[in-house]
Amino acid sequence: MGLLTYILLGLLATFWAGDAVAHFTRYKYGETVSAAIWWLEKRSILFRILVGLSVAVLFTHLEFQIP
């Protein structure tokens, strides 16, 4: 696996861990990561573009990994 794969897997693991902590602690330490991303997307066009590009890179990268 290449560097981009490790970066993407790390981001995915961080996302899951952040959401799990929020759910299992009943939001004691804040909202979920997905709620924070959604809030930022509504307020910043730049962040919306960055998320869109990240999703495009993820799907494109994974598409080329399938044999």
Asked if the model's pLDDT at residue 49 lies above 70, the reply is: yes
Q: pLDDT value at position 62?
A: 67
Q: Is the dihedral of CA 17, 22, 28, 33 positive or negative?
A: positive
Distance CA 5, CA 58 (A): 9
Please report the pLDDT score of residue 42 as a whole number: 92
Q: What pLDDT is recorded for position 60?
A: 81
Residue 66 has pLDDT above 60, yes or no: no
pTM of the full structure: 0.62
Q: Smallest Cα–Cα separation from 34: which of 45, 49, 23? A: 23
Three-state DSSP class for residue 54: helix
Give 34's pLDDT tier (boundaries 50, 70, 90): confident
Residue 1 CB contacts under 8 Å (≥ 6 apart), including other chains: none
What pLDDT score was predicted for residue 56? 87
